[in-house]
Amino acid sequence: MKLVTAIIKPFKLEDVKSALEAYGIAGLTVSEVQGFGRQKGHTEVYRGAEYKVDFVPKIRIEVVVDDGDADGVVGVVVKAANTGQIGDGKVWVTPVDQIVRVRTGEKGPDAL
Amino acid sequence: MIHLAAVQPPVTAAGDTAWVLASAALVLLMTPGLAFFYGGMVRGKNVLGMLMQNYVAIGIVSVLWVLVVYSLAFSSNGFGGFAGNLHQFGLAHMNEPVAGEAIDIPPLAFVAFQLMFAVITPALITGSTADRFKFSAYVIFISLWVVLVYGPIAHWVFSPEGWLFKKGAEDFAGGTVVHANAGAAGVAMAILLGKRKGWPKERMRPHNVPYVLLGAGLLWFGWFGFNAGSALAANNLAGYAFVNTNTATAAALLGWIIIEKIRDGHATTLGAASGAVAGLVAITPAAGFVSPVGAIFLGLIAGAVCSLCTTIKFKLGLDDALDVGAVHLVGGVLGALLIGFFGTKATGIGADGLFYGGSAHLLRLQAEGVGATVGYSFVATMIIGYVLKKTIGIRMTDEQQMIGMDESLHAESAYDFNALSAGSFSGTSFGSSSLSATIGHRTEVQA
């Protein structure tokens, strides 16, 4: 099994979620995060004083999928989250050793 | 109280009385408005500390006003003219007319109205001292300050027996007594308190700009009572003060954001709110002494100049946290001095300024009023603050500042957005061996 983690622009969440549902994934987890990449932060001005805001708000999506679905899910996220502008985000895949469904105790791919 | 029952109070005009009482309520609302104006500008961990300082000013000053400060401000000359005598200590002799005042309202309506000015004046100082003033020291400081600084200055300028009033120095609603006074005191206390931990390197963004605009709106609304109420009658002069107040405020809002657009590239909402307040401050001394067109110029000048002055603190390394110096000291002084140019007898009172064919005498008087007020306020505040600093201490520890006023001084937090912090178990010393849990109204502590 694989964990697909995606950092995307907040306003792209709806598009990515719809695309993943259409692809057929069973569930996902979303969190609001902050960070910077090449986009860096931005500058705000209060009463003439400049404040550099280093961290940009982003959305992190986490989906655990069967090994065979990982590339497909990555492709779906990349397509849906793309605007062509700097700051579109990143997607990465990591191996997952074990999964347990809390309600039934099912393990492995059955728990997905 | 016996005096009230024994003698009939002076004959009064119903309309005037109604307007002054309504104005008193309007001016009261300015202090909560100021609390949110400032509260939005501080960091989220200090917003309750800021609100508390403003609300507790209402508590302390209201009580002291009844006991002693009203009498210091408005009784006949005492202490060699330095302040009023204590004839009206505890609001005694309220059946007698207010010393020297030719007004048709009951003395107690005058007491209520003037009280609200005394409340907001020390509250204004909290903008300079934000995020680092120990609460216990703050409480003692404003108690002493309202007695030793506000009372005497109000007497000099507002009381018809006061020496500046008698000279002819003009201050319609408190540009010197309230704003220049609080501004000078704020700068003095910012010097004594030192910089907030981390300033200016650490980023200290306003945590809630909509609060700032809400607070500015409440201030603008309440200020009609402050200025138009200062006519102390429902008459043509009140109409002048009302229209001038709105006009100058509007112009100052524009003046501030024009400077921002040119200097920084953006017109900001914080700038619009700040400009409005700068305009309100500057028109305060002049509200009954200038024409509405004069108020446009006065407002534009105040908005632009106050906006430019907000950068001075960085050059001086002086942490006047929320720019009480740039807005209230500069705005109050500017408004008082500009009367020397824009003053006109057309409103029915006062003297003509330089632009209306008057002599420079008025400007000199205004400068004298400003000098006396600012000079006394700064020195007296320095002395009060220094004594407190050397005795009980005035500054929160670095650790308290890092935790924030809300938690370290008041055991509260303003916002509960985090599910993890909302549990019924509160570790007062989380991670150590003791854990206290509040269950219902019972507190259990296990070691």
Q: Are B353 and B343 in contact (CB under 8 A)?
A: yes
Domain-located, residue B284 = yes
Which residues have C-beta within 8 Å of that of residue B247, sequence separation ≥ 6? B283, B292, B295, B296, B299
Cβ count within 10 A of residue B155: 30
Smallest Cβ–Cβ distance between A48 and the set B203, B206, B264 belongs to B264
Domain-located, residue B51 = yes
* B181 reaches A (C-beta below 8 A): no
Task: Give pLDDT, residue B419.
Answer: 55
pLDDT band, very low/low/confident/very high, at B426 (cuts 50, 70, 90):
very low
* A11 reaches B (C-beta below 8 A): no
Q: Are B332 and B179 in contact (CB under 8 A)?
A: yes
Total of domains in chain B = 1
* B438 reaches A (C-beta below 8 A): no
Q: SS3 string of B32-80?
A: HHHHHHHHHHCCHHHHHHHHHHHHHHHHHHHHHHHHHHHHHHHCCEEHH
* B136 reaches A (C-beta below 8 A): no
Within 13 A of A10's CA, how many CA atoms are on the CB side? 8
Q: Are B275 and B303 in contact (CB under 8 A)?
A: yes
Task: Give pLDDT, residue B325.
Answer: 97
Q: Which of B23, B17, B18, B12 is nearest to B241 (CA)?
A: B23
Q: Which residues of A touch B268 (CB under 8 A)?
A: 45-46
ipTM, two decimals, is: 0.78
One DSSP character per residue, B311-326 reads: THHHHHT---TT-HII
Q: Are B257 and B151 in contact (CB under 8 A)?
A: no
* A47 reaches B (C-beta below 8 A): yes
- CA pair distance A49, B277, nearest whole angstrom: 19
Handedness of CA B180, B186, B188, B190 (dihedral sign): negative
Domain-located, residue B21 = yes
Smallest Cβ–Cβ distance between A46 and the set B263, B265, B270 belongs to B270
- CA pair distance B419, B437, nearest whole angstrom: 17
Question: Are A48 and B274 within 8 A, CB to CB?
Answer: no
Q: Which of B179, B83, B177 is nearest to B125 (CA)?
A: B179
**Per-residue pLDDT reduced to its tens digit, B208-230:** 999 999 999 999 999 999 999 99
- CA pair distance B186, B167, nearest whole angstrom: 27
For A5, A64, A74, A79, A92, the CA distances from A68, given in Å and listed in that order, are 16, 12, 11, 19, 15
Domain-located, residue B100 = yes
Q: Which of B328, B351, B263, B410 is nearest to B30 (CA)?
A: B328
Q: What is the DSSP letter of B161?
A: T
**Per-residue pLDDT reduced to its tens digit, B300-315:** 999 999 999 999 999 9
Mutate to test the interface with B, among A42, A47, A52 (most CBs of B within 10 A): A47
Task: Give pLDDT, residue B9.
Answer: 60
Place of tokens 């109409």: B239
Closest chain A residue to the Cα of B260, Cα to Cα = A48
Domain-located, residue B9 = no
Smallest Cβ–Cβ distance between B310 and the set A48, A51, A53 belongs to A48
Q: Are B319 and B133 in contact (CB under 8 A)?
A: no
- Domain with B150 in it: 14-402
Smallest Cβ–Cβ distance between A51 and the set B205, B263, B307 belongs to B205
* B291 reaches A (C-beta below 8 A): no
Closest chain B residue to the Cα of A44, Cα to Cα = B205
Q: Which of B183, B171, B127 is nearest to B329 (CA)?
A: B183
* B268 reaches A (C-beta below 8 A): yes
Q: Which residues of B touch A51 (CB under 8 A)?
A: 203, 205
Domain-located, residue B408 = no
Place of tokens 């500017």: B334
**pTM: predicted TM-score of the whole model, two decimal places:** 0.86
Which residues have C-beta within 8 Å of that of residue B231, sequence separation ≥ 6? B237, B238, B240, B241, B288
* B390 reaches A (C-beta below 8 A): no
Closest chain B residue to the Cα of A54, Cα to Cα = B203
**Per-residue pLDDT reduced to its tens digit, B278-303:** 999 999 999 999 999 999 999 999 99
Question: Are A49 and B314 within 8 A, CB to CB?
Answer: yes
Interface of B with A in 301-320 (CB under 8 A): 307, 310-311, 314
Q: Are B190 and B336 in contact (CB under 8 A)?
A: no
* B76-79 own/partner pairs: CB under 8 Å, 24+ apart: B76/B100, B76/B161, B77/B155, B77/B161
% of chain B exceeding 90 in pLDDT:
89
Question: Are A46 and B323 within 8 A, CB to CB?
Answer: no
Domain-located, residue B443 = no
Q: ω before B106 within 30° of 0 (cis)?
A: no
What is the token pair recorded at B7? 């003698």
% of chain A exceeding 90 in pLDDT:
78
Task: Give pLDDT, residue B429.
Answer: 42
CATH code at position B276? 1.10.3430.10
Q: What is the DSSP letter of B435?
A: E
Helix ranges restricted to H, B349-404: 361-391, 398-403
Question: Are A48 and B270 within 8 A, CB to CB?
Answer: no
**Per-residue pLDDT reduced to its tens digit, B326-382:** 999 999 999 999 999 999 999 999 999 999 999 999 999 999 999 999 999 999 999
Domain-located, residue B414 = no
